[in-house]
């Protein structure tokens, strides 16, 4: 087991990022856990250490260039040059989500109690775009330089089903995740001469603390939105975080995926294949 390999995982306290970080630790990577909540990172750290792995927790705002520069200096000083970057940080904001699926003239009137496109909070809208777009661009820019110095590397960005189809109610999240797929293609072309492969994973519907409240009822059934997703998913279930790990391992492995770059892989239980008819 090569314990000199260094992987940086942003969003490592989240459901999907933590699963990837834990598996990288199992493989012998020195894993850098990046997030805003130290408490969440510590949970991931405990699991990696319990399995005999090596990791460290570093808190930073992934969309803040200066914070990420300082974090990168710590990584290089403590562990060495990063060769795998998993950009799992990102997310949405409740106030950037509409409460209606299509235009209602009432949203143009004072006193409208819901959220339509015309009365969304634009600052929260921009927050969503920034964390998903700049929170991916900045880590790529910084750690790709170290990958070049190390002789090559692999970057995995996080897209979404929204990269293929704009889902209702989440315009900021949809446009930012579509942007991630496009940026992944652009960066793959740009960094190919540096020996760096850049790909993305587009998760389908996976349960986490936030989505459970939206998709499941207190008794374990489905909400209306949850039932709609299951109806549209041929495998008739939500994804489990471990079901992303195999895709990650394929994409970062130069021996089996060394000619793969610039793609976005849907891991969605068939969601994109089902027209709903």
Buried b (16+ CB within 10 A) or exposed e, 150-181: beebbbbbbbbbbbbeebebbbbbbbbbbbbb
Query: What's the pLDDT score for residue 129?
Result: 98
Of the two residues 4 and 249, the one the predictor is more confident about is: 249
144 vs 70, 81, 84, 193, 255, CA distance in Å?
Answer: 15, 10, 9, 12, 20
Region for residue 169 given its phi and psi (left: phi exceeds 0; alpha: psi -120 to 50; beta: otherwise): left
Q: How far apart are CA 19 and CA 239, in angstroms?
A: 13
What SS3 state is found at 92? coil
Average pLDDT over residues 173-200: 98
Confidence of residue 209 (pLDDT cuts 50, 70, 90): confident
Average pLDDT over residues 178-184: 98
Alpha helices in the chain (DSSP H): 15-26, 38-50, 65-78, 122-129, 135-150, 171-191, 209-215, 224-232, 242-252, 254-257
Inform me whether the pLDDT recorded for 208 exceeds 90.
no
Confidence of residue 2 (pLDDT cuts 50, 70, 90): low
Inform me whether the pLDDT recorded for 219 exceeds 70.
yes
244 vs 59, 120, 239, CA distance in Å?
Answer: 24, 33, 9
Inform me whether the pLDDT recorded for 269 exceeds 80.
yes
Name the fold adopted by 6-204+239-269. Rossmann fold (3.40.50)
Q: Which tokens is 166 given? A: 């704009």
Sorted by sequence, the CB contacts under 8 Å of residue 161 that are 6+ apart come out as: 167, 202, 203, 204, 205, 266, 268, 271, 272
HSE of 7, CA atoms in CB hemisphere, 13 A? 33
Query: What's the pLDDT score for residue 234?
Result: 95
Q: How far apart are CA 56 and CA 77, in angstroms?
A: 12
For the chain, the structural domain boundaries read 6-204+239-269
pLDDT digits (tens, 9 = 90+) for 93-134: 999 999 999 999 999 999 999 999 999 999 999 999 999 999
Name the burial class of residue 50, with classes exposed (0-12), middle (13-18) and buried (19+) by CB atoms within 10 angstroms of its CB.
exposed
Which one of the listed residues 29, 79, 164, 173 is annotated catalytic?
A: 173
Sorted by sequence, the CB contacts under 8 Å of residue 122 that are 6+ apart come out as: none
Q: Which of 8-12, 127-131, 137-141, 239-243 has the lowest mean pLDDT?
A: 239-243
Confidence of residue 213 (pLDDT cuts 50, 70, 90): confident
pLDDT digits (tens, 9 = 90+) for 62-93: 999 999 999 999 999 999 999 999 999 999 99
Q: How far apart are CA 143 and CA 223, in angstroms?
A: 41
Q: How far apart are CA 73 and CA 145, in angstroms?
A: 12
Inform me whether the pLDDT recorded for 210 exceeds 80.
no
Of the two residues 208 and 55, the one the predictor is more confident about is: 55
The yes-or-no answer on residue 173 being catalytic is yes
Q: How far apart are CA 261 and CA 235, in angstroms?
A: 28
Confidence of residue 276 (pLDDT cuts 50, 70, 90): confident
Total-model pTM: 0.95
Confidence of residue 3 (pLDDT cuts 50, 70, 90): low
């Amino acid at each position: 087991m090569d314990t000199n390999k260094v992987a940086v995982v942003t969003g490592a306290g989240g459901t999907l990022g933590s699963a990837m970080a834990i598996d990288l630790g199992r493989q012998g990577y020195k894993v850098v856990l990046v997030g805003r909540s130290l408490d969440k990172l510590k949970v991931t750290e405990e699991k990696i250490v319990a399995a005999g792995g090596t990791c460290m927790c570093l808190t930073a705002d992934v969309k803040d260039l200066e914070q990420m520069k300082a974090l990168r200096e710590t990584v290089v000083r403590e562990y060495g040059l990063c060769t795998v970057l998993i950009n799992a940080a990102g997310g949405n904001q409740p106030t950037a989500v509409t409460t209606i699926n299509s235009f209602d003239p009432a949203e143009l009137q004072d006193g409208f109690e819901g959220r339509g496109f015309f009365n969304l909070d634009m600052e929260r809208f921009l927050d969503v775009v920034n964390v998903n777009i700049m929170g991916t661009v900045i880590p790529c820019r910084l750690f790709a330089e170290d990958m070049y110095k190390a002789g090559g590397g692999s970057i995995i960005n996080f897209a979404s089903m929204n990269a293929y189809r704009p889902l209702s109610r989440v315009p900021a999240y949809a446009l930012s995740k579509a942007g991630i797929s496009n940026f992944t293609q652009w960066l793959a072309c740009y960094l190919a001469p540096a020996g760096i492969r850049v790909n993305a994973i587009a998760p389908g519907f996976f349960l986490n603390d936030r989505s459970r409240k939206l998709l499941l009822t207190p008794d374990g059934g489905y909400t209306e939105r949850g039932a709609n997703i299951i109806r549209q998913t041929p495998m008739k279930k939500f994804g489990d975080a471990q079901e992303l790990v195999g895709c990650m391992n394929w994409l970062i492995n130069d021996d089996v995926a060394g000619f793969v770059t610039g793609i976005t892989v849907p891991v969605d239980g068939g969601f994109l294949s089902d027209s709903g008819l």
